[in-house]
């Protein structure tokens, strides 16, 4: 028997097993997609205002921007860490870009400087976590406050000033009549599919998240990869922040408030775990979409918009409870 024949034989029975298992790449994508479609269908049937192209378009646009921020965040969770500073970094990067533009910089230098600042914050987060063996939940609450303060300094300096006209249009850039962020999202999801399926880096991240001691023994550079993940988290949050700043046209101290908890919730819904070793960008995107649909539906049903905070808090606890109980059962 040739090796390739054996390979072919070995694969089939196991595939079946894994489809129902907890592991694997995106094993809960299909049920999640089904739920999302069901919620959308329910809203479409019961609320005439839901299935309009403008409503769907704005939901998708909003999700696509948040999605940019969840890219790095998801992969930080895969390594069994967490980055709660994303919301603040998101705000700071957006406002810094805006401030530089108001000070007559041109767009690319401004955006690159802002993203470099974001990368630096990510590096500091990762470095401190790795070197001092600190609980990232704790540390990133600190950086969240610190960076939020800096963002508010920028917001205050700008006052109510709107950003330059060209920048305000930036987020509304269309490609083939579709918002560019939506296209980026679709491309990124395709990229994530390849990344999660094929890349050595993603596998190493999973190894680290699942069993850091074995990963160390297997010569995987744990510290380096964790720092990289934190930097990716900050930079992708920054990119999303730049689009958001452009979208809301002026510095708003509320920008990105609570984003981190939307992200934790969406990522866990999408297949990530506080206990590491798992995470799927496609799932995270669906998680964000599902949350957006739920919040949109609440508005449709005239439920107080301020109640959203309550729902996000409740969903956060519910998903983490689910995650904890599942993880315990697996042990």
Build a one-symbol-per-residue string for 273-302: x at contacts with another protein by CB under 8 A, - elsewhere.
-x--xx------------------------
Asked if residue 9 binds another protein (CB under 8 A), the reply is yes
Q: Report the residue from 48, 176, 213, 329 that binds another protein according to the rule CB under 8 A.
A: 213
Q: Report the residue from 200, 254, 302, 329 that binds another protein according to the rule CB under 8 A.
A: 200
- b/e map of 100-126 (b: 16 or more CB within 10 Å)? bbbeeeebeebbeebbebbbebbebbb
Q: Using the structure block, give the residue that is written with the tokens 């439920």.
A: 303
Q: Using the structure block, give the residue that is written with the tokens 């409870």.
A: 321
Q: Report the residue from 217, 254, 302, 329 that binds another protein according to the rule CB under 8 A.
A: 217
DSSP string, 39-106: HHHHHHHH-TTTTSHHHHHHHHHHHHHHHHHHHHHHHHHHTT---TTHHHHHHHHHHHHHHHHHTT--
Q: Using the structure block, give the residue that is written with the tokens 């969240």.
A: 144
Task: Give the integer Cα–Cα distance in Å for 250 and 252.
Answer: 6
Asked if residue 19 binds another protein (CB under 8 A), the reply is no
Contact 100, 113 (CB under 8 A): yes
Asked if residue 37 binds another protein (CB under 8 A), the reply is no
Q: Which is nearer to another protein, 173 or 198 (CB)?
A: 198
Asked if residue 18 binds another protein (CB under 8 A), the reply is yes
Asked if residue 73 binds another protein (CB under 8 A), the reply is no
DSSP state of 134: -
Phi and psi of 17, rounded to 5°? -60, -45
Name residues contacting another protein, limited to 115-154 (CB under 8 A). 128, 131-135, 137-139, 141-150, 152-153
Please report the sign of the dihedral spanned by the C-alpha atoms of residue 292, residue 293, residue 295, residue 300.
Answer: positive
3-state secondary structure 228-267: HHHHHHHHHHHHHHHHHHHHHCECCCCCCCCHHHHHHHHH
Asked if residue 53 binds another protein (CB under 8 A), the reply is no
Name residues contacting another protein, limited to 82-121 (CB under 8 A). none
**Cβ 316 to another protein shortest distance, Å:** 4
Cα diameter, the chain:
74
Asked if residue 172 binds another protein (CB under 8 A), the reply is no
Q: Report the residue from 108, 302, 328, 329 that binds another protein according to the rule CB under 8 A.
A: 328
**Cβ 202 to another protein shortest distance, Å:** 9
Asked if residue 159 binds another protein (CB under 8 A), the reply is no
Name residues contacting another protein, limited to 239-268 (CB under 8 A). 258, 261, 264
**Cβ 205 to another protein shortest distance, Å:** 11
Contact range with another protein by CB under 8 A, out of 42-50, 173-181, 293-301, 305-313: 305-313
Asked if residue 190 binds another protein (CB under 8 A), the reply is no
Q: Report the residue from 13, 31, 48, 160 that binds another protein according to the rule CB under 8 A.
A: 13
Question: For the chain, what's the residue count?
Answer: 331
Q: Which is nearer to another protein, 299 or 311 (CB)?
A: 311
- Work out the number of other CB atoms within 10 angstroms of the CB of residue 138: 11
Secondary structure class of 175 (helix, strand, coil):
strand
């Amino acid at each position: 028997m040739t090796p390739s024949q054996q390979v072919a034989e070995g694969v089939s029975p196991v595939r079946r097993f894994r489809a129902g298992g907890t592991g694997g790449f995106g094993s809960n994508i299909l049920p999640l997609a089904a739920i999302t479609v069901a919620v959308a269908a329910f809203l479409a049937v019961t609320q005439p205002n839901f299935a309009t192209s403008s409503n769907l378009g704005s939901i998708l646009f909003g999700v696509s921007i948040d999605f940019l921020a969840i890219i790095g965040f998801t992969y930080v969770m895969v390594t069994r860490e967490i980055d709660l500073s994303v919301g603040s970094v998101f705000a700071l990067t957006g406002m810094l870009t805006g401030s530089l533009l108001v000070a007559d910089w041109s767009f690319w230098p401004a955006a690159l400087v802002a993203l470099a600042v974001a990368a630096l914050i990510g590096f500091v987060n990762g470095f401190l976590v790795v070197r001092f063996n600190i609980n990232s939940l704790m540390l990133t609450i600190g950086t969240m406050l610190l960076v939020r303060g800096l963002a508010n300094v920028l917001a205050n300096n700008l006052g109510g000033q709107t950003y330059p006209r060209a920048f305000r249009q930036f987020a509304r850039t269309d490609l083939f009549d579709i918002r560019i962020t939506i296209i980026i999202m679709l491309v990124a999801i395709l990229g994530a599919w390849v990344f999660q399926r094929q890349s050595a880096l993603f596998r190493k991240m999973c190894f680290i998240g699942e069993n850091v001691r074995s990963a160390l023994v297997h010569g995987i550079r744990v510290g380096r990869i964790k720092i990289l993940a934190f930097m990716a988290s900050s930079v992708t949050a920054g990119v999303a922040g730049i689009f958001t700043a452009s979208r809301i046209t002026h510095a708003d101290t509320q920008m990105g408030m609570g984003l981190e908890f939307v992200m934790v919730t969406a990522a866990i819904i999408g297949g990530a775990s506080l206990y590491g070793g798992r995470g799927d960008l496609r799932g995270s995107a669906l998680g964000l979409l599902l949350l957006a649909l739920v919040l949109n539906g609440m508005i449709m049903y005239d439920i107080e918009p301020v109640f959203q905070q309550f729902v996000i808090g409740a969903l956060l606890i519910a998903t983490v409870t689910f995650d904890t109980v599942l993880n315990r059962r697996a042990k």
